[in-house]
Copies of this chain bind each other. A is one copy, B any other.
Amino acid sequence: MSVVYERVALIGLGLIAGSMAHAMRAHGLAGHVAGYARSSETRETARRIHLCDSIHDSAAEAVKDADLVVLAVPVRAMAEVAEAIAPYLKPGATVTDVGSVKRSVIEAVGPHIPEGVHFIPGHPLAGTEHSGPLSGFASLFQNRWWLLTPTEGTDPAALARLQDLIRGMGANTEDMEAGHHDLVLAVTSHVPHLIAYTMVGVADHLRRVTESEVIKYSAAGFRDFTRIAASDPTMWRDVFLENTDATLDILGRFTEELFVLQRAIRMGDGQHLHDYFTRTRAIRRGIIEAGQDTDAADFGRSAGTKQADGKG
């Protein structure tokens, strides 16, 4: 693989940016990777493990001369970062982000992007429940989807170059309209995460079942809900605050469906339950046929630890 960008700046040094640093280094995709994080502790850690080629004490410094700038901070922190770096962006550079919500990021970041700089929002569908500068690993994006939400005005050459980088890190990429992205992700990720958080909260409140029992017998289904519910609280707070409409829409549908099933349980309507449970099998078959499942069920996470690298 050859160098795609001479200089890349990573703003935020958590799981995603850290994994990008590892992946770009492993595949020789960037001439120089500059990094910045708001917390001095994170910057120190990043320096100590040599996460990037250079770590800077301000975002403005980090983006200087960068051909690609990656905004990898919580969704609600994007606007401030964009404003801070705007004057220092190199003409012709590309700015992308890795936020889980796209419409609100576009609204927050777009106005700050100067003429002559390309803004191509993105979202890698990859993660683990770990966060921070030590949590990244090179294979996080292997065989994952990395969605981009360009607009009609997006420069085709800039888009193609970003796609090259993404594919170079092992991911598949596809374009999608931002609003549609937010709805698709509400269904496939955001609401499932909120439900998992809720289920763990219920168990936590239930005094008649001890915490040790919940923990001990968690392998019967509950365990994977707790994995999700250990995800970064700030990131997920921002997702729900910024993808409000789609989340509430899908949540409303979810609650309706749940009430219909709850009623069937209360009324003893076995036929309804059986029919419902039979229908949902079809989607599962579709996922297997599409090659989008592996033995390791992992909520889109690469099994949660660096040791899982080999699994993709």
Taking Cβ atoms with an 8 Å cutoff, the residues of A that contact B are: 76, 125, 129, 144-145, 147, 183-185, 187-206, 208-209, 211-231, 233-234, 236-238, 240-241, 244, 247-248, 250-251, 253-255, 257-258, 261-262, 265-266, 268, 270, 273-274, 276-287, 290, 292-293, 295-301, 303-305, 307-308
- Measured in the bound complex, the distance between the Cα atoms of B189 and A195 in whole Å is 14
Q: CB distance B201 to A276 under 8 Å? A: yes
Q: CB distance A144 to B219 under 8 Å? A: yes
CB distance from A231 to the nearest CB of B (A): 7
Closest to A176 in B: B213
10 A-B pairs with the lowest CB-CB distances in the bound complex, closest first: A230-B284, A233-B277, A189-B220, A229-B280, A192-B221, A219-B300, A188-B222, A189-B221, A200-B280, A226-B284
Q: CB distance B297 to A197 under 8 Å? A: no
**Known A237-B273, A296-B298: A226·B195 in contact at CB below 8 Å:** no
Q: CB distance A201 to B280 under 8 Å? A: yes
Extra inter-chain contacts (10) besides given A125-B217, A125-B219, A230-B281, CB under 8 Å: A147-B217, A190-B221, A197-B277, A203-B283, A206-B250, A206-B253, A241-B270, A248-B262, A297-B298, A297-B299
Which of A200, A204, A251 has the most chain B CB atoms closer than 10 A to its own CB? Answer: A200
- Measured in the bound complex, the distance between the Cα atoms of B226 and A266 in whole Å is 24
| Between-chain CB contacts (< 8 Å), 7 pairs | A187-B202, A188-B221, A194-B261, A206-B250, A223-B299, A236-B273, A297-B304
Q: CB distance A297 to B293 under 8 Å? A: no
In the complex, what residues of B have CB within 8 A of residue A250's CB? 202, 206
In the complex, what residues of B have CB within 8 A of residue A273's CB? 233, 236-237, 240-241
Q: CB distance A303 to B297 under 8 Å? A: yes
In the complex, what residues of B have CB within 8 A of residue A231's CB? 277
CB distance from A270 to the nearest CB of B (A): 5
- Measured in the bound complex, the distance between the Cα atoms of B237 and A305 in whole Å is 36
Q: CB distance B295 to A308 under 8 Å? A: yes
Q: CB distance B211 to A187 under 8 Å? A: no
Q: CB distance A283 to B221 under 8 Å? A: no
Q: CB distance B201 to A184 under 8 Å? A: no
Q: CB distance A215 to B286 under 8 Å? A: yes
Closest to A269 in B: B241
In the complex, what residues of B have CB within 8 A of residue A147's CB? 217
- Measured in the bound complex, the distance between the Cα atoms of B258 and A282 in whole Å is 27
- Measured in the bound complex, the distance between the Cα atoms of B188 and A76 in whole Å is 34
- Measured in the bound complex, the distance between the Cα atoms of B220 and A298 in whole Å is 9
- Measured in the bound complex, the distance between the Cα atoms of B255 and A201 in whole Å is 11
- Measured in the bound complex, the distance between the Cα atoms of B204 and A287 in whole Å is 13
In the complex, what residues of B have CB within 8 A of residue A307's CB? 295
Q: CB distance A193 to B209 under 8 Å? A: no
In the complex, what residues of B have CB within 8 A of residue A292's CB? 215-216, 218-219, 223
